[in-house]
Chain A
Amino acid sequence: MRYLLIDHITEYKPGELIKGIKNVAMSEDFLEFHFPKNPIMPGVMLLEALTQLTGWLEAASTDFKNWFLISNVGKSAFYGFAFPGDQVELEVEFVSEGDQNKKVYRGTGFVKGKKKISAEFEGEIILLEDIEDVEEQKKFFKVLTRELR
């Protein structure tokens, strides 16, 4: 499995918000186990999609200096289910500065106008260069935003 939970970034405003898409495919490995004979996108994978989207917002807002690692979830609610074939429209917005180099974000995920997840979460802001090749990340961001097309 490629642990990449965002397929497309459709819009972003530095320091404010970001929107992206996660397509749920029957070929996802986790659907074999979640659940046996009853494939449902795991709620935490939607939360991971929101977390990764937040990472991209941090990167795009700081010329790829920062990334985001989740450390707390104030509250996350999961409504209904996302199924194979669904397209989840995700959105994350900045809420506030947290304690010590942390930030609070709020995110949602919708399938055809129906809410599937809402979450308020906090995370550490870390240096992207400590965990990834910055130039590669810049290029991949262009793949996600389709600026390379």
Chain B
Amino acid sequence: MRFLYYDKIDNIEKGKSITGVKTFTLSEEFFRKHFKKQALVPGIIYIEAMAQLLGWLIIYSHNFKLSAVMSLVEDVTVPPELRPGFRAEIHGEIISTSRRDSLGKAWITVDGETVASMNRIIYSHVHKVNSEDLSALFYYYSGIRVNHGA
């Protein structure tokens, strides 16, 4: 299993917002145990999807000079009984960011309808990073072409 809960990034605006896509397929490993008679997406996967995408926005906004690790989530709603076969749009926004930490919010829509939301997420920043490695991962994971002019 690859612990990646987005497939691509569609839009990213430094210091502001990010939008990405995650398709939920029956081939995900976790469906082998979640559950035997019904395939239901585990609720925490939506939290991870929102956290991963917004995390990249923070890293990108700080020019890959730091990494962001989730330290608190509040006021979260996830759909407990969705089966795979849908395309989720993940949206994230930075509310504030400093050298030390970031605050943001995120939500997920399916066919235009909001199915999950996280009204408050705080990230702690980690400064011991290899910027080149982080940047290379970002462009590979996001599907965004490297634009040296940006």
Contact = CB atoms under 8 A, between A and B. Distances in A.
Interface of A: 1-4, 29-30, 32-36, 40, 42-45, 47-48, 51, 69-79, 123-124, 126, 130-133, 136
Contacts of A123: 43, 80
B138 to A, nearest CB: 12
Interface string B17-42: 00000000000011111111110101
B71 A77 contact: yes
> Which of B67, B76, B133 has most chain A Cβ within 10 Å?
B76
B73 A30 contact: no
B44 A51 contact: yes
Given A3-B32, A3-B33, A36-B133, A73 B47 contact: yes
Interface of B: 1-4, 29-38, 40, 42-45, 47-48, 51, 67, 69-81, 133, 137
Contact of A130 (B34, B37, B48): B37
B81 A69 contact: yes
Contacts of A3: 29-34, 42
Given A30-B3, A71-B43, A77-B72, 14 more contacts: A1-B29, A2-B33, A3-B30, A3-B32, A29-B3, A30-B1, A36-B133, A44-B45, A47-B47, A70-B44, A71-B78, A75-B72, A124-B81, A131-B40
